[in-house]
Structure 1
Amino acid sequence: MRTALAPNPAISPATDPAMTTTEPAAASQMPGRATAPAYVSIEGVGKSYGSRHGAVHALAGIDLEVREGEFLSILGPSGCGKSTLLKCIGGLERVTKGSLAVRGQPLSGPPAKAGMVFQRDVLLDWRTILDNVLITAEFLGQSREALKPRALQLLQRFGLSGFENRHPWELSGGMRQRASICRALLCDPELLLMDEPFGALDAMTRDDLNLELARIWQDTRKTVVFVTHGIAEAIFLSDRVVMMDRNPGRIVEVMEIDLPRPRTLAMRETPEFGRYVAHIRHLFAGLGILKEG
């Protein structure tokens, strides 16, 4: 889906072969990474809520395929339905129009082998950090003892070794969010859904977690759908970035990110990275979401 905005020749993908935008419905037809099969298929999805003043349309006409093993970010302003779309993929919200399938099977509830990280860590203050991570095993009816070594390994990877027996209220916000990511990864999900997990963190902690998340994806090639407000964050982490507008929430463009991996923070200072940022900013400026200049 291409935006109807007139392109800016200085930053348009048409003048820069390193940047490509794609129609969501045609994603599986593109070469290279695009040949990966669809893990999540979204067709004509709409989501509405009832209110005293009539229906509120949160999403309309969403067509998108999430490829198996890709890192896809959903980017847009507050109120554009990013989190609502993620909750629909996670089976936490039911769509009111269209269809949504995971591995070709219509979605009727939370998909199997999926993990979710929310905007807030939602840790239980009366449980230790280790017990908070192991709660996933309890929910899924798996053995806590069998998964304890993996929980400890994850905590070590995310810099929480030595804090296993602390309680959430004893940790910083960044440390709590690291624990919530460990919890989501405990049972090795195939699909990882992340709803602005780093939005409330300071810039340095956010950079650190971006790097660790990128490394985990590089190692495991999980299918990741990541919601964010951050343009640079979306570009840094993603294979593709989905850009949304609001009233109602809809996709205006899907952009391939053709940057080498593994990625470093220094890459954000390169001209190639800057062209992606400029293109996205220009698109959102044309929609009245951002100001240029």
Structure 2
Amino acid sequence: MAYLSIEQVRKTYGSPRGPVHALKDIGLAVREGEFVSILGPSGCGKSTLLKCIAGLEPVSGGQIAVQGRPLKGPPEDMGIVFQRDVLLDWRTILDNVLITAEFAGLNRAAMRERAGQLLQRFGLGGFENRHPWELSGGMRQRAAICRALLCDPKLLLMDEPFGALDAMTRDDLNLELARIWQDTRKTVVFVTHGIAEAVFLSDRVVMMDRNPGRVVEVIDIDLPRPRHLALRETPEFGRYTAHIRHLFASLGVLKDDAS
């Protein structure tokens, strides 16, 4: 049985000009402990699909189930990282991370040690008592990831969490996320528009197109783990990224260099 099952999911929004079909007949089964990236252009429904998986948006048709149980709201044992860090500026970084424990009804004092360990691992040791406005964008997003990981969720949803960061910070966080997954084998659904990022992180890449949002291909990524940035320079890695680029070019999403 799949850990996460998405069966013929549709999502339609109403508008004064008529219905907007954001998702059409999305089908996907994610195994427990698998890292799956959802890759596609802006407007293809990637974030909408993630919100449906998170129970933040109702589906218009079809069904989403976690461990065989149909979704009726946010699933238990889930952590989520949004495009923006959404930290609370009036709380310290430590208190922002601990807010997850508060929402879960857990003892703050008992979770402080884990919060400190996570902050240390993500390069934020010594910044526990700083406020978000004192940190760079990359540091804020690291804190947001710590917050999502605090209660050790089985399912981790990430909505373009590195999209607004500079290339070096993005590479650093890609490496750390790959290490976290290697250590914990969480089930991860990761939304991105970065082809190399999707290939580097994933066991499978789900390619989507728009108007309406739909799955056009699912690619198994057979590359060795643990992964290091040098992997991106190998012919095997290049073949995956070239295949994805060519497919998107055939859909009119990208220009093909060969054309």
Taking structure 2 as the reference length, what is the TM-score of the superposition? 0.99
Q: Say which of 65, 69, 72 aligns to 2:36.
A: 72
Q: Which runs of 4+ in 1 moved over 6 A?
A: none
Letter in 1 for 2:252: G
Please give the per-residue CA displacement for 1:98-134, whole angstroms capped at 9, x wherever unaligned: 0110000000000000000000000000000000000
SS in structure 1 of the partner of residue 28 of structure 2: strand
Q: CA shift at 1:60, angstroms?
A: 0.3
Aligned to 2:240: 276
User: How far, CA to CA, are the matches of 1:52 and 1:66 in structure 2?
Assistant: 36
| Aligned equivalent of 2:202 | 238
Pairing partner for 2:168 from 204, 211, 215: 204
Q: Which residue of 2 aligns with 1:185?
A: 149
Instruction: Name the count of aligned residue pairs.
Output: 257
1:133 counterpart (93, 97, 103)? 97
Counterpart residue identity of residue 26, structure 2: I
Query: How many Å separate the matches in 1 of 2:103 and 2:125?
Result: 24
- Taking the TM superposition and a 5 Å limit, the aligned residue runs for 1:81-230 are 81-230=45-194
Q: Alignment identity in percent?
A: 81
Query: 1:40, 1:94 → 2: CA distance?
Result: 16
* Residue ranges of structure 2 left out of the alignment (5+ in a row): none
* Structure 1 stretches lacking a partner, 5+ long: 1-36
Q: Deviations over 1:54-102 (max 9, x none)?
A: 1100000101001110000000000000000000000000000001100
1:248 corresponds, among 183, 194, 212, to 212
Q: Deviations over 1:155-201 (max 9, x none)?
A: 00000000000000000000000000000000000000000000000
2 CA distance for matches of 1:90 and 1:96? 15
